Amino acid sequence: MIIRFILTLLVVTCLSIPARADDLDVMIGQMLMAGFRGYTVDDDSTIMRDIRERHLGGVILFDRDMTAWLDKGRNIKDPAQVKGLITKLKSAAHIPLLVAVDQEGGRVQRLKETYGFTPTPSAQELGAGPDEGVSAAADVVGRTLQEAGFNLDFAPVADVNVNPESPAIGALGRSFSADPDRVAECDGLFLRGLASHGVLGCLKHFPGHGSAGTDSHKGVTDVTATWSKDELTPYRKLIGKGAAKVIMTAHIFNARLDPVYPATLSRKVIGGLLRGELGFDGVVITDDMDMGAITEMYGREEAVRLAIEAGADILLFGNNLRFDPDVVRKAHAIIRRLVDTGAIPRERIELSYSRIMSLKAFLN
């Protein structure tokens, strides 16, 4: 841990970032990513203050506001507006800001053709075609994101299409294939295409959402009877090749992996399976902590504590399934209190901070 911490400080120095690893508030802020409302921001906007004063490590942009009754717009109107918004957000950060979006292709692309962006086919369509099609789509997505200022894409999906009717995956065409080896191959091509434009990719949803019969956005999703170890193949292969730098957890429950907690909150899944058995030492980010699979069963403080104890490095609050303008302040205060009371050791925060800073060394 000491060696990792020293290397992190060197990375910080090389990036000309203030070496503030001794500042707990900075480290906590880097462990948070949040969504917000607005096509534009100014210096007094809540999200700008969160970046400046709470050291928020990342933001996520959406095209639709799921909690607004009238104006369904959120952050994305057209390419020039998005680029201006991201430029302004980045200007508030003293540590490079992760700016993320869900741009998979097909039915899940926040940068839509109707807003002036170039569309790409779904993973299902791409996986059924030649490798060149996957690479070409990834090149388009990577170039589109780079031009707008994004540096993190929550793609590609590494879920295996076990259940074609799975409401969150198969039914939406989000999986490349029912063959785990083909999924791994397509994921690798997609990651490479993003990286060629300086964009980080994120494999999701660990340890596999493709067999689920329900949607974790809406509530508890149990895959105990349907999940198989074959669903780990894409992760195993890409981790082994050093291609995976960011992995998103699923909120699925699998009693064969952990009889108590869903994957996002499970030490057995993140610490034991992902970190231990598969050897992943990159950044683990949670799926949206506001999803029903978490909020129906756990209070916010308990969920935050369990996710960090499990091994998550970044906690994602999309702030779009339910909106709270103070979500960053509240989440930051929860983590600070957990550390101050000894519920979470400071060393645990330092470990995640070092992983995050190592990841940010790849940002342009």
Residues with catalytic function? 217, 287
Neighbour count for residue 60 (Cβ, 10 Å): 24
What's the number of CA atoms in the CB half-sphere (13 Å) around residue 331?
Answer: 30
**Exposure string for 22-33, b = 16+ CB within 10 A, e = fewer:** eebebbbbbbbb
List CB contacts of 80: < 8 A, sequence separation 6 or more: none
Burial of 214 (0-12, 13-18, 19+ CB in 10 A): middle
Q: Could you give the CA distance from residue 124 to residue 200 in angstroms, rounded to a whole number?
A: 21
Considering only the C-alpha atoms of the chain, give the largest distance between any 2 of them, rounded to a whole number of Å.
55
Record the tokens describing residue 149, joined without a space: 């200022």
Cα 99 to chain center, whole Å?
10
The answer to whether 177 touches 183, Cβ cutoff 8 Å, is: yes
Q: Could you give the CA distance from residue 228 to residue 41 in angstroms, rounded to a whole number?
A: 45
Record the tokens describing residue 33, joined without a space: 């990513």
Nearest of 264, 242, 257 to residue 309 by alpha carbon: 264
Q: Could you give the CA distance from residue 4 to residue 359 in angstroms, rounded to a whole number?
A: 13
Q: Could you give the CA distance from residue 247 to residue 244 in angstroms, rounded to a whole number?
A: 7
CA distances to 117, 120, 176, 210 from 188, rounded to whole Å, are: 24, 17, 12, 18
Q: Could you give the CA distance from residue 138 to residue 159 in angstroms, rounded to a whole number?
A: 17
